[in-house]
Structure 1
Amino acid sequence: MSEQAKLNVTVFGDGQLARMMQPAAAELDIHLRILASRSDSSAAQVIPDAIIGDYHDYATLRGAAKGSDAVTFEHEHVPNEYLRALIAAGFNVQPQPAALINAQDKLIMRQRLQELGAPIPAFQAINSAEEAAHFWAQTGGHVCLKARRDGYDGKGVWFPGSEAELVALTTQLLKKDTPLMAEKKVALTRELSILVARRPSGETKEWPITQSVQRNGICAEAMAPAPDLSPQLEKRARDLGVEIAQSLGVTGVLAVELFAFTGENGVEDIAVNELAMRPHNTGHWTQDGSVTSQFEQHLRAVLDLPLGATEETAAITVMANVLGAPEDPQMPMRERVREVMERYPAVKIHLYGKAHRPGRKIGHVNLCGTDVQATREQAQAAAHFLVHAQWPDTV
């Protein structure tokens, strides 16, 4: 079949998220093109139609988008004004820039969620050290300082231990022209997320609520459905995710990161942390634990195709990230993979083709099971061996 007879999707970005769209695209006979930063990037290794270029250059974006039925993203960093220009030029950009700006700028996101009446922490734009000091006093010192743009995996987020530290940090960052905001720190009990897919015609599908475990600001583990979640809170989180997707006009996959905390009545409650309008780390479990993966669903949604079923296919699915060790083990990764396959044949391994770097996401494993603790232990052990080339003593 010629490319002209196929549906064509261009993805701006070349990391593991774009890489993991390729199997779903192949199964649906969708031609995938990426705008890549280099020819050996994670996605470029498996997607033949890779245009090498800079997403900060409008002409490059337009060239990559040519002939596509839909243009989408695997990150939020493409300049919003360029996306608006692409739409003006007749390209089908999904999600559209009016929605995406809420994932690109944390202050705009907070202001819009406040308008919607969504549960959020107290927040304030920070344009001076004096404003930072005032917010410190307002919150009793419970302050999280954030860069409004470009933060991920714990980057662009600071937790100052004193007012003096906050003032010094704010002064330093403002001198570097870093747009800032501050939020009241939430005494969270765990972190949850709700993933929702929405197509331009308005149909939505949401997956079960996911619980994630963060280490050093990076997602280390996710499990779904979230254990010990009350039916009332599950419904509230699902309804909140759908409301945000519909109100903002999101298309594709929307991840709503949630703080869980103990409310006034001693009952678990939630507040919105951040939004991502693309496949998300806390949704990787859907590759092996859901009827439809987030990667297939994202492609369906941006092309305005009927959405797939999102029910879980196991009592519990655990995803454990494979993060680069402080030192890369001498054992080659292919041998580590063999060892994990031998010991845990039910574990599904997903590697990203990335070179080792300490703390870098180089892959993940998924494991479906019936017992939460046993499934977590085995998934963690498999990920640990892929990282360190040795088994943890406890498993």
Structure 2
Amino acid sequence: MPPPQLAVIGGGQLARMMQQAAVGLGIHLRLLAEAPDVSAAQVIVDHVVGDYTDLDTLRTVVAATPVVTFDHEHVPPEHLRTLEAEGHACRPGPDALLYAQDKSDMRSRLSGLGVPCPRSAVIASRADLEEFGLPAVVKTTRGGYDGKGVWVVRAMADADAAFDSGRGLLAEELVDFRRELSALVARSPSGQVVAYPVVESRQADGVCAEVIAPAPDLDPALDAQARAMAERIATELGVTGILAVELFETTDGRLLVNELAMRPHNTGHWTIDGAHTSQFENHLRAVLDLPLGPAGARSPWAVMVNILGGAVDDLDAQRAVALAAVPDVRVHLYGKAVKAGRKVGHVTAYGPDLDDALFRARHAAHLFTDGVTS
């Protein structure tokens, strides 16, 4: 077996889809997985099972591996600094990852750069929240995702769960927004940057349900602003790899940064089938400082719909049903056990007609989630 060129920390579906891109590029990945049967460990032969918060385990995984990248942003930054001091390039590095790990640090840094964000403040008490003003959105500063660790607070009683969590908290204004957008860029250590089309993401119960590329009826000026904003953030923060900038398009025509992710992102899954170079391939190219691939779309429209755990327990058996009913979609299953509301895969449809692509992608996803046959 050739020596690994890249270590990947975290065994979720993002690492699984990195392997798909790595095969084509001839890149040998070594994985640190949380358990032997997690999504990425099923497809990456060279894997170690262990705890990403344990420095010795990290050292074992990255031994003889020059570059390290991530399926998630939760590795302790002090461990990453140790790995860098020992000669391993962590991409993105700990100084950049800080702003994806901690929302309060992210808000402070972006505000210092003049990047428009919702009004926000760190809060430690109900009095702090009352002073900030309601209605508000309260978030844990670290660790929240997919609607977890986020509370919409219209009356003080709505904040009980947030304060009972014992976590650091951030209050943000409740933004009056028209829709949510996402701007994805890839950036290499040498400074090359490519930007993907700005997409619209649609949420259900705090979880991304579907993505439309490009965002329909997006004002060209806002499109250019979103791309420029993402490129500037990637450069100013020194991000290497994929950066996803999640945005609010407000009802009065402004863009506000909601979240940052420094890894391949759910809003970029459409690129596997719908872009000239997928976000996963460009992430690998970027972290290994290879020339980046073109990020344009292959088709006028692409729609990605997440498959969420529901009534169907046997996704493998249902795959034949879905492909027979909607043969012109692309299906991606993550090898995960089905749990209610859990992301267990996604489907992508593309073509010249948006309504048709939406129908096909939604229908296929519903076949996996609901078990219907028509």
Shorter-chain TM-score category? Answer: over 0.9
Secondary structure in 1 matching 2:28:
strand
Q: Provide Cα deviations, 1:73-122, integer angstroms capped at 9, x if missing partner.
A: 01011111111111111111000100000000000000000011001000
Secondary structure in 2 matching 1:25:
helix
CA distance in 2, matches of 1:338, 1:164: 48
Secondary structure in 1 matching 2:19:
helix
Does 1:374 pair with 2:366?
Answer: no
Task: Name the residue aligned to 1:321.
Answer: 306
CA distance in 1, matches of 2:163, 2:352: 51
Task: Name the residue aligned to 1:172.
Answer: 164
The offset of 1:128, in angstroms, is 2.0
CA distance in 1, matches of 2:317, 2:46: 30
> What TM-score do you get using the length of structure 2 for normalisation?
0.98
Q: Which of 175, 189, 202 is equivalent to 2:191?
A: 202
The offset of 1:383, in angstroms, is 0.2
Secondary structure in 2 matching 1:228:
coil
Task: Name the residue aligned to 2:105.
Answer: 108
Q: Provide Cα deviations, 1:331-372, integer angstroms capped at 9, x if missing partner.
A: x32332112212222100000000110000000001111111
Task: Name the residue aligned to 2:344.
Answer: 362
Q: Which moved more, 1:154-163 or 1:240-249?
A: 154-163
Q: Which of 239, 254, 265 is equivalent to 1:250?
A: 239
Q: Percent identity?
A: 49
CA distance in 1, matches of 2:361, 2:29: 31
Does 1:337 pair with 2:319?
Answer: yes
Contact persistence 1:384–1:391 (CA under 8 A)? no
Contact persistence 2:149–2:162 (CA under 8 A)? no
Contact persistence 1:128–1:170 (CA under 8 A)? no
Number of residue pairs aligned between Structure 1 and Structure 2: 374
Contact persistence 2:77–2:94 (CA under 8 A)? yes
CA distance in 1, matches of 2:163, 2:279: 41
Structure 2 unaligned runs (5+)?
none
Q: Provide Cα deviations, 1:263-286, integer angstroms capped at 9, x if missing partner.
A: 2xxxx2210000000000000000
The offset of 1:61, in angstroms, is 0.7
Q: What CA RMSD, in Å, does the superposition of the two structures yield over aligned residues?
A: 1.2
Query: 1:10-89 alignment to 2 at 5 Å?
Result: 10-89=7-86
CA distance in 1, matches of 2:369, 2:210: 14
The offset of 1:130, in angstroms, is 1.3
Task: Name the residue aligned to 2:287.
Answer: 302
Secondary structure in 1 matching 2:344:
strand
Does 1:281 pair with 2:287?
Answer: no
CA distance in 2, matches of 1:165, 1:366: 37
CA distance in 1, matches of 2:40, 2:317: 23
> Match for 1:153: what amino acid?
D
Contact persistence 1:25–1:296 (CA under 8 A)? yes
Q: Which of 92, 99, 104 is equivalent to 2:89?
A: 92
